[in-house]
Chains A and B, each alone.
Chain A
């Protein structure tokens, strides 16, 4: 099953009870990799579990993790 790296942004105020929210995310299938005190959790999850997870009231949004890529170091445009 395809697993995706996701960024989970918690709803307003949920950061105050971060550890209990994280537990519920784990129960929903999220393998938590980072939890940030301001209310964002990152991790991996099976693709088909994303939709169910996104319906949780404690979550504002869930999105696939984005990558940033700079130009090669010898490029004059950075």
Chain B
């Protein structure tokens, strides 16, 4: 039986330990496939295809052959070379049967490397910052979200976490019988990304490191939450006039948005705040399946954030849509993905004694955007929410993926 070309290892999740914080390419994670990168300045695969086809007798499939950017195994059934035209990359596979060596003997212009299993290793963090902080240009910003109120509605916050010493944290719990202290970890991680600063060794993982944190507990310590608790948290964030409300939560999306969430989001807008939500993790893009944006992210008055993955190609970051990230699948206005941010192998805060941990999800992408919004609010305190949103969208870096998957592209600090 033929080994699947895409399979599950390259694009699906792999367990990530804390020691994966600085994952590098020396790990023995080879997939048996090879990545061929076009030589500098070369835009076309025409020359390389001649070698693949005529000299090596390989069967070629190209991203140009498919309307969707997602391949299925059926479509590439017999292929031995898979060309990602927009990325300038060809994948040789599915097995290491010597064709890579034969290719190397025929061509010395292209860069050929063993493909690595990518997950936490997407793009390595550096000793000074996470890849998300770096790719969003957060380090280059003159702003820190100083005194901007950012609400994170989630599983609460790890009170007393050493990375947050001296920070302003206001809390409220909407979960009956549970205090705001985070017994799950998800909420602390999201607060870390949006409003945290550095870990014990100085790695910067938080965007708006001087924001005023409003931690609203709307999900219990088992990670579940009733809609009434979430709606209560949204009312609280609006009443407190939070300028950003980050919601890394949701349930499966449908063709219509939930009017109750929409009403709550409109209320927050009327109080001068912007709601961002995670688009959802229900896709399996490696299998050709893209799930619709979840609820409440699919509300017209809420910005839906997709998750980006990435890889290092020839030393430069090449971003891609995370395997699990939901996409726009309905024509309802507002149901679409609005913007994207790093969401794979995201290193942030976690309740003690773990302290810090890398995890993946659109839940991790969403707070990057929340933090970036706080930077904008600090810079333009007199703006309306609509003006800030226009700025966020205009500052984003377009990506070579459909806007149904990444919206306007990668959110960036201005």
Contacts and interface: CB of A to CB of B under 8 A. Distances in A.
Contacts of B230: 68
Contacts of B16: 76
Contacts of A5: 226, 228
Interface of B: 13-16, 119-120, 155, 184-186, 189, 219, 223-228, 230-232, 234-235, 238-239, 248-251, 258-260, 263-264, 266-267, 281, 295, 324, 359-361, 363-364
Given A34-B231, A40-B231, A77-B360, A71 B260 contact: no
B interface SS class: mixed
Given A67-B226, A73-B223, A76-B16, 5 more contacts: A7-B231, A38-B263, A67-B225, A70-B155, A76-B15
A51 interface: no
Given A76-B13, A77-B13, A70 B223 contact: yes
Size class of the A contact interface (CB-based, 8 Å): 20 to 34
5 contacts: A36-B232, A36-B264, A68-B226, A70-B155, A73-B185
A65 B261 CA distance: 12
A69 B155 CA distance: 11
Contacts, number: 107
Nearest to B182: A73
Contacts of A38: 235, 238, 263-264, 266-267
A72 B16 CA distance: 14
Interface of A: 5, 7, 9-10, 33-34, 36-40, 42, 60-61, 63, 65-73, 75-78
B291 to A, nearest CB: 13
Contact of A72 (B219, B223, B360): B223
A75 B364 CA distance: 13
Given A38-B267, A76-B14, A77-B359, A33 B228 contact: yes
Minimum-distance CB pairs A-B, first 8: A70-B223, A38-B267, A78-B361, A42-B228, A9-B259, A68-B225, A9-B260, A76-B16
A50 B284 CA distance: 37
Contacts of B120: 76
